[in-house]
Amino acid sequence: MKQICVIGVGYVGLVTAACFSDLGNRVIALDISEEKIEGLKRGEMPIYEPGLAELVERNVRSGRLTFTTSYEEGLDGTEFVFIAVGTPSGVDGEADLRYVAAAAETVARTMCNPLILVNKSTVPVGTGDWVADIVRKHQPKPIPFSVVSCPEFLREGSAISDFTQPHRTVLGSLDLDAAEKVAQLHLSLRAPIVLTDLRTAEMIKYASNAFLATKISFINEIANICEALGADVKEVAVGMGYDKRIGPMFLDAGLGYGGSCFPKDVKALAYMAAEKGGHPQLLHAVMDINNDRRRMAIERITQMLGGLDGKVIGLLGLSFKPNTDDMRDAPSIDLANALMAAGAQVRATDPVAMEVARQVMPTVEMFNDVYTMAEGCDALMVVTEWNEFKQIDWNLIRSLMRQPVIFDGRNIYDPAVMQHMGFAYRAMGRGYKNGSSNGR
């Protein structure tokens, strides 16, 4: 059993702490937010993640997982310190490292025994060296330490399974012995371990997320072409996905990517490239295509309704993806703002994200169920592909709506079925199946 301190109790930090404790380690989760820590001590989760509350409760009960705001308590007898604090985007897309710097500086001033400092946050290439410099600068007296980069690859909504069944573990350090000790923490996960240097490990994270974001923007660009030429992007994606060189994942055309990772990481990588004199054309195209998806959705619903002024629009889903309450860069925010700016009244429902959503879109009327929300609506827009929305009683919905208009931003319904039920239905990239008036 090892003793681990995890700094930060957000998505990455709390999942990391809970999962490492579930592997039999003693883990102290540390955060400067007294509200979050006191809530966790009462069993209240600061985030929604399927299975996380149960995992935390089990390991707290066993005594393997504890919470604190004290660095002295967190570092006492600890061998591994994971930094898992936020790195939001700056004004120009650069990663804001103030929280990483604060954590490193406080660790330096507090540590009283040798440590392995593990960067778990997504940080720009070169941050590992920078963190080492911060620690050396602020130590009251020299104490040996090493810095290891261990980037996270956790998807919100499936973070626990991603931790326990990873595709790979990436470790980078200038100290091979330290990297191998961190590797030992992950051996029971039985996944490939990539050992490399600090900067390469940091780059693997950015390159991975940028590639996945590129794949999403690529299929959305194909969706535009499919819609113009009368092809069905859903079937195109299936045909492409059988090719093992391509694969089926991330080929779902829709409203584009959002959340805390892809938007921030693609911007940061483009910023890093530009800072070194590069011209990251592909990354800029990926971002442009993604931004265009939300604008196009507004254009489509405007066409379907003949204008938005005075219309009542219901949003099915608020979070940027299912199984999370994360509203960071969620398409629903941009859609709601654009709809209201055009004179529409906006309603919304979401299985778990409404409490968080109220803080960022207070003028949107929230409903606890789809049917109450749909009553009197001129149109519904599918924004998040929650499973709950796949089992809707559409005959009842049609009887409740003022106009039977559906814009499916996630392509979760069969166009033929929806049109047969009497809906004016349009999706993203479905070509002649969209039921548009261009002769297809």
- On whether the pTM is more than 0.85, the answer is yes
Residues 126-155 have pLDDT tens digits of 999 999 999 999 999 999 999 999 999 999
How confident is the model over 162-176, as a mean pLDDT?
Answer: 97
Q: In what order do the strands lie in the sheet with 312-316?
A: 365-366, 345-349, 312-316, 379-382, 405-408, 424-427
Q: Cβ(16)–Cβ(8) under 8 Å?
A: no
Q: What average pLDDT does the segment 350-367 reach? A: 97
pLDDT of residue 440: 34
CA angle 435-439-440, nearest 5°?
55
Decide whether 3-196 matches 215-434 in CATH topology: yes
How high is the pLDDT of residue 431? 83
Catalytic choice (19, 150, 226, 261): 261
149: its two tokens: 């980069």
Quickly list DSSP for 155-194.
PTTSHHHHHHS-S-EEEEES-HHHHHHHHHHHGGG---EE
Q: With cut-offs at 50, 70 and 90, classify the pLDDT of residue 313.
A: very high
Residue 326 has pLDDT above 80, yes or no: yes
113 pLDDT tier (thresholds 50, 70, 90)? very high
- What would the mean pLDDT of 346-358 be, rounded to a whole number? 97
Q: What average pLDDT does range 433-439 have in this prediction?
A: 52
Average pLDDT, the chain: 96
pLDDT at 355 over 70: yes
Comparing C-alpha atoms, which of 82, 69, 142 is closest to residue 112?
142
Q: Supply the pLDDT for residue 438.
A: 38
- Write the pLDDT tens digit of every residue in 55-98: 999 999 999 999 999 999 999 999 999 999 999 988 788 889 99
Q: Domain spanning 3-196: which CATH class is it, in words?
A: alpha beta
Q: Kindly tell me if the per-residue pLDDT of 439 is higher than 90.
A: no
Q: What is the mean pLDDT of residues 314-335?
A: 97
At 435 the pLDDT is 60
- The residues, ordered by sequence, that sit 6+ positions from 271 with a Cβ below 8 Å of its Cβ are 92, 93, 94
Which CATH topology does 215-434 take? Rossmann fold (3.40.50)
pLDDT digits (tens, 9 = 90+) for 197-232: 999 999 999 999 999 999 999 999 999 999 999 999
- Domain coordinates in residue numbering, the chain: 3-196, 215-434
Q: Is the pLDDT assigned to residue 343 strictly greater than 90?
A: yes
Annotate 207-233 with b (16+ C-beta within 10 A) or e (fewer).
ebbbebbbbbbbbbbbbbebbeeebbb
377 is catalytic: no
Report whether pLDDT(31) > 70.
yes
The mean-pLDDT minimum among 13-22, 73-82, 328-337, 430-439 falls in 430-439
